[in-house]
Structure 1
């Protein structure tokens, strides 16, 4: 059985009222309004999110590729969340060889990943390279004190400020911002950012 950590979401081992579970599930259900074609779930974890997108969007998704660095996690995803449209594979999101190995995607989803990564520039470069022109990126992260400042979270390198988060997407043609608190996701223009601990960007290349 996959070992639980304070950061890993494993729905089968969590209570239905667990706040972490609720917010993660909400993001993937939110993503189903946007995904189509060939989809990459970048840092897919235990696989539940890839499964949600494949199952709910089966009529407009060609395939969903879930990539995670941990071998046991990928093994668990393959055994627990099988779907004919879904494939799980081992990979490092900052490996510069990954774009050549995986090709390009119509949609890339990466939720709660970037705060774990020191090689932020390579991570964002990989995403941009793997996203087709006109494709859609959906990326989320918790807000915090900024780059280089310890967040107090054991598994987070740091947590970006709102402005740093928005600065990640300058190369994209357009970006819409949303804020999240628990299951509630609201567009930035309708929300007070200080009341929302998480941000979601939907970008068009």
Structure 2
């Protein structure tokens, strides 16, 4: 699989590549929540699914890792095989996913929202596929807002901070974190700093 500048392929990138380090930081951040059934939504080359499976193998029952790109999934199966992981070609806005895949204890989806035309179905799929009491960890880069142009050729748009936060009103608990490079920290104390990426950690209500 070729490195295009957007897809993260660790072995084809320099160790200090900023994009690679950002993605590694998000997956390591998510290990704390890893247990039971895990869905890696838009898993790309599969390295992050492997990170979680290796780090939390005693707590994880299985990892379902999906991506719309058949080449990426074929690469993931060859490079990042792990007995706990099932790599599959799927579209994250397919409305049949909740019925076919069931529910998960943890859903992670990093740098996906900015690529999705049908944001409503994407977010509904995540909510429906999350078990009551389960956790979703979702990240996206901030930008000019929904429907506004972006300099990134593969992005539909980039949400504002407010638009991003408004996506999670159905959840019982939501914590927002902010990322710059490998630094991920909560909102307090961030005045005067620019954080290009937002991360939401959302817990679904137990009665949902």
Which TM class, normalised by the smaller chain length? over 0.9
With normalisation by structure 1, the TM-score equals: 0.97
Regions of 4+ moved over 4 Å = none
Aligned to 1:144: 143
| 1:66 and 1:89 in contact (8 A); partners too | yes
- The Cα of 1:90 is off from its aligned counterpart by 0.5
- Does residue 19 (structure 1) correspond to residue 18 (structure 2)? The answer is yes
SS at match of 1:189: coil
Corresponding residue pairs, total: 204
1:148-167 aligned within 5 A: 148-167=147-166
1:79-90 aligned within 5 A: 79-90=78-89
The superposition leaves residues 98-141 of structure 1 with CA deviations (integer Å, 9 ceiling, x where unpaired) of 11111110110000000000100000011111001110000000
Aligned to 1:48: 47
| 1:169 and 1:203 in contact (8 A); partners too | yes
Which sections of structure 2, spanning at least 5 residues, go unmatched?
none
| 1:179 and 1:193 in contact (8 A); partners too | no
Aligned to 2:126: 127
Aligned to 1:3: 2
| 1:109 and 1:137 in contact (8 A); partners too | yes
**Distance across 1 between alignment mates of 2:192 and 2:39:** 28
- The Cα of 1:193 is off from its aligned counterpart by 7.5
| TM-align CA RMSD | 0.9
User: Is the alpha carbon distance of 1:116 and 1:194 closer, same or farther for their aligned partners in structure 2, counting shifts above 3 Å?
Assistant: farther
**Distance across 2 between alignment mates of 1:145 and 1:188:** 20
SS at match of 1:167: helix
With normalisation by structure 2, the TM-score equals: 0.96
Aligned to 1:106: 105
